[in-house]
């Protein structure tokens, strides 16, 4: 092992690895002191959070990676034919030039693909083909949906089939639709498309060359995999761990009939998280539908609850529990290239809402599924002992020794009496550790939802709604034109949108009793800090310290809601669950490895669309058959593109250095070809456009002049042209602020459009967005080197105008922007809410706004401003005019992760 790498905490082999939460003092540095909001944050936070230097997209140094020593993930046999080679051998004899076999040509394949993935019902497709002449003119070999299904069933790639099993609980029989979990694992593991994005052994990543600052991102960078790998290597070297991520969530599949489905999904932690979270990649597979019965025939509530838990675990035991032998002994398995490894599929992580977590962990509602905290202490931020798996298993294994002893033992172990939980015999698994953070339900649909309700009670919903209506528009920020208090059935996305503007709704508001709102504001700011930090796609020990510090700040200030009579206590399981985020990130990587949002999205494909494809009679039998055929189409689609994918890859592109010409995208043609200077002043508000452009030209021609000197020279210049071409939108690509090169660039836009009439002759006010301008030394992290401005005009000069203004050899920027400045950022943010306050900047004593012409490349991104409303928002302010009528603003940090890292 490399020098400086921390020692592992597992020292001896054991059948069940106690990979419980890691607590303060156990292989952890002391947390940083609580941040004083009046003191600027340390200069090195940019490096700790973003790993970005000098505005460049810095690639992680591969030398800062420690690989697991030994034979972990090593091949065990000569490569066999790959997955696609095996499929090619199974196809019926066909013309080698026909790459779409078993379909006769490309047209037939495209029609078949459309019919199964995008087309109408089977009956409607059959009726289409039976229209006289359609089948003949298209030259199709199938005449109905039934004929097409025969081709799919007999000739397309094989995928695991669903089977139906009956489970009897309390005298009632229930059907569970399931697949062979091992075959599903083999399908995912052997997919050639995933091979470039797979990891076969754990690694330790560090932010520094001295290997002292661990990094956590992908699942293989977490401690759990390393610990389990060490135990397996001591038992039998050469193991390849397959971390199983299981997710369940009951969902409605109809809007009116109250029908529901209970799907169970499986994926592998070996596959990169950016692949797993894309539904189009199909890196998550449906392994079963559980019964959705509520067991209403059982009249006793306690007995019904126990029967429900037993039914769930009995079904899951049929799906996952059968992997006990393979997880312990391993099984030879081929990856997409035909290379065999000894693979150990091990239940690692469970993804679900709190009720699902409690059900899986066999704990009662109101208890923590991960630790022994007392239900009356859920609102206290302190360490609690992790649940002990060994003692839990001892209690559960008394089930065959009589109900009296079994119930007593389970009561003492503080678990529900469940007959043989599905994880009971799984080797190297710890169900209490496997419970992972849930951003969607714990934060957005949990703590954020609660906080919005508390704020409505504290400040009054009416004034908060009035502020909602008057916030300026910005790309990525939703305008709640009717406020937020009247929304019903608020979705997770709507709570996300609220988080972007929540501070704007309470800053400077007064409490009804006249008391200071400072602690309320601090509590909300702390919760938002925790939310944004928790979603970082890459964490270091330092950023995890900031995460704990934010949670501590919330707990330090939350009592204000009790003092205001809004809460009686904070014994909220979802609040307590936040205390386990740091430990889970260290064990399994960042929270986007196990986000329930991915599960929610899968419901559309695997539950709702599947149900709509049926005639609602014996629906689940039809749903499973429909899903299998869709998967066969997906597999065959990948096979058809395989020859191109198997060809030698082109040389990888050079590392991008954040070239502004790649970062900024302008339309090829202007929005308006010729706009006069007079029109620019009247319609765009660019009243000093000619002065600003003249000054820019002077500075470009005479770089040694100061701005004041250039302004004086420009006073006497009259430009030889009187119009320019204007553009009404700038599109920007923003690299990930933490330099995660696997993540796609975020999309941003700046709108610069004068007032106009819509298609119904209604007046639409002009929109001139605010932006963050790089004044020369901005570094993509922290506000140093940046300044806020409002863009009034984006323009370009015609060839004749360019020739008249600049020397022949001058090759300046093609697109320029006329902007109006705001005051520079202060040395520190405002206390309590930690936002920067800025105001309009003016030239001298003339009260004319400070202006400039700059290259568009200096615009870093859009930025959202919160008006300083005061105690009551002026009712003559609107979303369309607030940027003109308000003088002072707060700069929002919450538009997205890039803004959050930059504006602090």
Q: How far apart are CA 24 and CA 454, in angstroms?
A: 31
pLDDT at position 745, please? 87
In DSSP terms, 260 is beta-bridged to: 252
Per the model's pLDDT, the better-predicted residue between 706 and 471 turns out to be 471
Report the DSSP pairing between strands 239-248 and 340-351: parallel
Per the model's pLDDT, the better-predicted residue between 645 and 266 turns out to be 266
Least confident of 145-154, 307-316, 652-661, 667-676: 652-661
Q: Is the pLDDT of residue 625 over 50?
A: yes
pLDDT at position 781, please? 57
Q: Is the pLDDT of residue 62 over 70?
A: no
Report the DSSP pairing between strands 251-252 and 672-676: unpaired
- Quick one: how far is CA 395 from the chain centroid? 39
The predicted-structure confidence for 758-781, as pLDDT tens digits, reads as follows: 888 888 899 999 999 998 765 655
Full-model pTM: 0.90
Q: Exposed, middle or buried by CB within 10 Å (0-12, 13-18, 19+), for 367? A: buried
N residues, the chain: 904
pLDDT at position 10, please? 34
Q: How far apart are CA 778 and CA 835, in angstroms?
A: 19
Largest interatomic CA distance in the chain: 101
Tokens of 337: 């290239």
pLDDT at position 5, please? 36
Q: Is the pLDDT of residue 346 over 90?
A: yes
Q: Is the pLDDT of residue 7 over 60?
A: no
C-alpha closest to that of 588 among 239, 188, 269, 195: 269
pLDDT at position 82, please? 80
Q: Is the pLDDT of residue 684 over 60?
A: yes
Q: What percent of the chain has pLDDT over 70?
A: 90
Q: Is the pLDDT of residue 816 over 60?
A: yes
Asked if residue 391 has a cis previous peptide bond (ω within 30° of 0), the answer is: no
Average of pLDDT values for 799-815?
89
Q: Is the pLDDT of residue 40 over 80?
A: no
CA distance readout (Å), 370 to 21, 376, 394, 593, 817:
8, 16, 18, 19, 55
The predicted-structure confidence for 577-598, as pLDDT tens digits, reads as follows: 999 999 999 999 999 999 888 8
Would you say 23 and 169 are in contact if contact means Cβ atoms under 8 Å apart?
A: no
pLDDT at position 714, please? 85
pLDDT at position 288, please? 96
pLDDT at position 778, please? 58
**Residue 501 backbone dihedrals phi, psi, to 5 degrees:** -125, 0
pLDDT at position 858, please? 95
pLDDT at position 904, please? 80
pLDDT at position 60, please? 46
Contacts of 653 (CB under 8 A, 6+ apart): none
Contacts of 707 (CB under 8 A, 6+ apart): 695, 699
Q: Tell me the angle at which helices 541-557 and 581-588 cross, rounded to the nearest 10 degrees.
A: 160
C-alpha closest to that of 285 among 197, 186, 184: 184
Residue with tokens 């089948």: 135
pLDDT at position 97, please? 83
Q: How far apart are CA 661 and CA 642, in angstroms?
A: 34
CA dihedral of residues 698, 703, 707, 712 (deg, nearest 10): -40
H or E segment at 465?
helix 461-469
Q: Is the pLDDT of residue 20 over 60?
A: no
Burial 679-691 (b: 16+ CB within 10 A, else e): bbbebbbbbbbbb
pLDDT at position 835, please? 96
Q: Is the pLDDT of residue 27 over 90?
A: no
C-alpha closest to that of 614 among 253, 256, 288, 142: 253
C-alpha closest to that of 316 among 170, 169, 420: 420
In DSSP terms, 628 is beta-bridged to: none
Q: How far apart are CA 899 and CA 476, in angstroms?
A: 11
pLDDT at position 766, please? 93
Q: Is the pLDDT of residue 14 over 60?
A: no
90 confidence band (pLDDT: 50, 70, 90): confident
pLDDT at position 643, please? 67
The predicted-structure confidence for 290-306, as pLDDT tens digits, reads as follows: 999 888 888 888 889 99
Q: How far apart are CA 206 and CA 66, in angstroms?
A: 8
CA distance readout (Å), 615 to 439, 605, 632, 747, 796:
36, 17, 22, 41, 59
The predicted-structure confidence for 848-883, as pLDDT tens digits, reads as follows: 899 999 999 999 999 999 999 998 999 999 999 999
12 confidence band (pLDDT: 50, 70, 90): very low
54 confidence band (pLDDT: 50, 70, 90): very low
Q: Is the pLDDT of residue 342 over 90?
A: yes
Q: How far apart are CA 7 and CA 162, in angstroms?
A: 45
- The average confidence (pLDDT) of the chain is 88
C-alpha closest to that of 864 among 544, 408, 478: 478
The predicted-structure confidence for 370-421, as pLDDT tens digits, reads as follows: 999 999 999 999 889 999 999 999 999 999 899 999 999 999 999 999 999 9
Report the DSSP pairing between strands 770-774 and 786-796: antiparallel
Q: Is the pLDDT of residue 657 over 50?
A: no
- Quick one: how far is CA 781 from the chain centroid? 21
Tokens of 225: 């995999």
Would you say 533 and 525 are in contact if contact means Cβ atoms under 8 Å apart?
A: no
Q: Is the pLDDT of residue 697 over 80?
A: yes
C-alpha closest to that of 203 among 215, 213, 188, 195: 215
The predicted-structure confidence for 303-339, as pLDDT tens digits, reads as follows: 899 999 999 999 999 999 889 999 999 999 999 989 9
Residue with tokens 């071409």: 725
Q: Is the dihedral of CA 383, 389, 392, 394 positive or negative?
A: negative
Q: What share of the chain is helix, strand, coil (3-state, %, to 5)?
A: 40, 15, 45
Q: Is the dihedral of CA 538, 201, 329, 78 positive or negative?
A: positive
The long-range contacts involving 482-490, CB below 8 angstroms and separated by at least 24 positions, are 484/452, 485/456, 485/461, 490/449
pLDDT at position 454, please? 97
The long-range contacts involving 132-138, CB below 8 angstroms and separated by at least 24 positions, are 138/107, 138/108, 138/111
Neighbours of 171 (CB within 10 A): 7
Least confident of 57-61, 249-253, 358-362, 466-470: 57-61
Q: Is the pLDDT of residue 348 over 90?
A: yes
Q: Is the pLDDT of residue 160 over 70?
A: yes
pLDDT at position 2, please? 38
pLDDT at position 644, please? 55
Per the model's pLDDT, the better-predicted residue between 197 and 704 turns out to be 197
CA distance readout (Å), 250 to 50, 296, 316, 778:
37, 17, 14, 48
Q: How far apart are CA 219 and CA 31, in angstroms?
A: 24
16 confidence band (pLDDT: 50, 70, 90): very low
The predicted-structure confidence for 169-202, as pLDDT tens digits, reads as follows: 878 889 999 999 999 999 999 999 999 999 999 9
Three state DSSP letters for 120-142: CCHHHHHHHHCCCCHHHHHCCCC
Tokens of 130: 């039976």
CA distance readout (Å), 620 to 43, 169, 175, 259, 316:
58, 20, 10, 11, 18
Would you say 289 and 265 are in contact if contact means Cβ atoms under 8 Å apart?
A: no
Classify 625 as helix, strand or coil: helix
Q: Exposed, middle or buried by CB within 10 Å (0-12, 13-18, 19+), for 196? A: exposed
Contacts of 33 (CB under 8 A, 6+ apart): none
pLDDT at position 649, please? 44
Burial 605-635 (b: 16+ CB within 10 A, else e): bbbbebbebbeeeebbebbbbbbbbbbbbbb
Q: How far apart are CA 882 and CA 504, in angstroms?
A: 13
Q: Exposed, middle or buried by CB within 10 Å (0-12, 13-18, 19+), for 704? A: exposed
pLDDT at position 49, please? 53
CA angle 693, 696, 701 (to 5 degrees): 125
The long-range contacts involving 474-477, CB below 8 angstroms and separated by at least 24 positions, are 474/769, 474/770, 474/862, 474/863, 474/864, 474/865, 474/895, 475/748, 475/749, 475/750, 475/751, 475/769, 475/862, 476/500, 476/748, 476/862, 476/864, 476/895, 476/896, 477/501, 477/864, 477/892, 477/895
């Amino acid at each position: 092992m490399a020098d400086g790498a921390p020692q592992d905490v597992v020292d001896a082999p054991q059948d069940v690895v106690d990979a419980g939460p890691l607590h303060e003092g156990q292989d952890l540095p002391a947390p940083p002191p609580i941040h004083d909001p009046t003191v600027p944050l340390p200069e090195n936070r940019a490096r700790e959070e973003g790993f970005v230097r000098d505005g460049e997209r810095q690639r992680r140094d591969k030398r800062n990676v420690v690989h697991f020593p030994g034979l972990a993930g090593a091949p065990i046999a000569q490569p066999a034919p790959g997955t696609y080679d095996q499929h090619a051998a199974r196809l019926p004899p066909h013309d080698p030039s026909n790459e779409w076999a078993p379909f006769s040509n490309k047209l037939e394949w495209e029609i078949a693909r459309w019919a199964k993935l995008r087309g109408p019902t089977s009956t409607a497709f059959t009726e289409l083909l039976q229209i006289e002449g359609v089948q003949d003119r298209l030259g199709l070999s199938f005449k109905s949906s039934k004929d097409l299904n025969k081709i799919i069933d007999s000739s397309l790639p094989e995928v695991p089939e669903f089977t139906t099993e009956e489970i009897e609980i309390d005298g009632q029989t229930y059907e569970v639709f399931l697949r062979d979990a091992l075959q599903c694992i083999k399908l995912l593991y052997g997919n050639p498309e995933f091979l470039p994005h797979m990891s076969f052994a754990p690694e330790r990543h560090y932010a520094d060359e001295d290997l002292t600052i661990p990094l956590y991102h992908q699942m293989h960078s977490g401690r759990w995999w390393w610990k389990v790998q060490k135990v397996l290597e001591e038992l039998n070297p050469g193991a390849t761990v397959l971390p199983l991520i299981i997710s369940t969530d009951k969902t409605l599949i109809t809007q009116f009939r109250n029908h529901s489905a209970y799907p169970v999904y499986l994926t592998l932690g070996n596959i990169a998280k950016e692949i797993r979270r894309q539904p189009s990649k199909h890196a998550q597979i449906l392994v079963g539908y559980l019964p959705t019965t509520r067991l209403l025939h059982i009249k006793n509530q306690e007995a019904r609850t126990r029967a429900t838990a037993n039914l769930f675990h009995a079904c899951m035991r049929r799906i996952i529990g059968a992997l006990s032998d393979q997880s312990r002994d391993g099984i030879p398995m081929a990856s997409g290239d035909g290379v065999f490894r000894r693979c150990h599929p091990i239940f690692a992580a469970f993804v679900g809402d709190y009720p699902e977590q409690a059900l899986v962990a066999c704990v009662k509602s109101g208890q923590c599924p991960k630790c022994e905290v007392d239900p009356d202490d859920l609102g206290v931020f302190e360490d609690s002992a992790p649940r002990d798996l060994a003692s839990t298993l001892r209690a559960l294994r008394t089930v065959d020794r009589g109900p009296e002893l079994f119930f007593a033992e389970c009561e003492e172990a503080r678990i529900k009496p469940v007959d043989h939980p599905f994880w009971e015999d799984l080797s190297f698994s710890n169900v209490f550790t496997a419970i992972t953070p849930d951003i969607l339900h714990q934060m957005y649909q949990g703590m954020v939802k609660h906080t919005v309700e508390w704020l409505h009670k504290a400040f009054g919903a009416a004034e908060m709604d009035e502020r909602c209506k008057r916030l300026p528009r910005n790309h990525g920020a939703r305008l709640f034109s009717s406020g937020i208090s009247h929304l019903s059935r608020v979705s997770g996305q709507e709570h996300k949108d609220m988080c972007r503007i929540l501070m704007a709704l309470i800053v400077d508001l007064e409490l009804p009793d006249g008391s200071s709102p400072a602690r309320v504001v601090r509590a909300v700011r702390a919760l938002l800090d925790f939310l944004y930090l928790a979603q970082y796609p890459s964490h270091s020990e330092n950023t995890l310290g900031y995460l704990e510090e934010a949670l501590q700040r919330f707990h330090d200030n939350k009592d204000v809601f009790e003092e205001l009579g809004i809460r009686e206590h904070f014994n909220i399981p979802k609040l307590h669950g936040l205390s386990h985020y740091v430990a889970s990130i260290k064990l399994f990587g960042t929270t986007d490895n196990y986000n329930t949002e991915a599960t929610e999205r899968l419901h559309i494909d695997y539950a709702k669309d599947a149900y709509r494809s049926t005639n609602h009679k014996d629906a689940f039998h039809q749903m499973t058959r429909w899903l299998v055929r869709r998967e066969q189409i997906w597999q065959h689609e990948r096979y058809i593109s395989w020859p191109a994918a198997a060809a030698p890859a082109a040389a990888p592109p050079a590392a991008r250095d954040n070239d502004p010409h790649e970062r900024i995208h302008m339309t090829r043609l202007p929005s308006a070809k010729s706009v006069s200077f007079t029109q620019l002043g009247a319609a765009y508000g660019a009243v000093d456009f000619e002065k600003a452009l003249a000054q820019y030209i002077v500075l470009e021609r005479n770089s040694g002049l100061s701005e004041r000197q250039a302004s004086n020279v420009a006073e006497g210049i009259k430009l030889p042209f009187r119009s320019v071409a204007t553009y009404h939108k700038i599109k920007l690509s923003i690299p990930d602020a933490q330099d995660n090169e696997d993540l796609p660039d975020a999309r941003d836009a700046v709108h610069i459009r004068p007032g106009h009439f819509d298609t119904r002759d209604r007046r639409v006010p002009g929109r001139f967005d605010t932006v963050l301008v790089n004044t020369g030394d901005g570094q993509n992290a922290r506000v140093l080197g940046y300044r806020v401005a409002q863009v009034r005009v984006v323009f370009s000069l015609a060839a004749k105008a360019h020739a008249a203004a600049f020397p022949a050899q001058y090759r300046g920027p093609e697109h320029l922007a006329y902007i109006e400045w705001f005051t520079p950022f202060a040395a520190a943010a405002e206390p309590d809410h930690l936002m920067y306050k800025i105001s309009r900047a003016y030239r001298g004593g003339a009260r004319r706004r400070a202006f400039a012409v700059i290259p568009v490349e200096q615009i870093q991104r859009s930025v959202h401003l919160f008006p300083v409303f005061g105690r009551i928002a002026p009712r003559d302010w609107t979303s369309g005019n607030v940027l003109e009528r308000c003088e002072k603003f707060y700069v929002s940090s919450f538009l997205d992760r890039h803004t959050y890292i930059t504006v602090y």
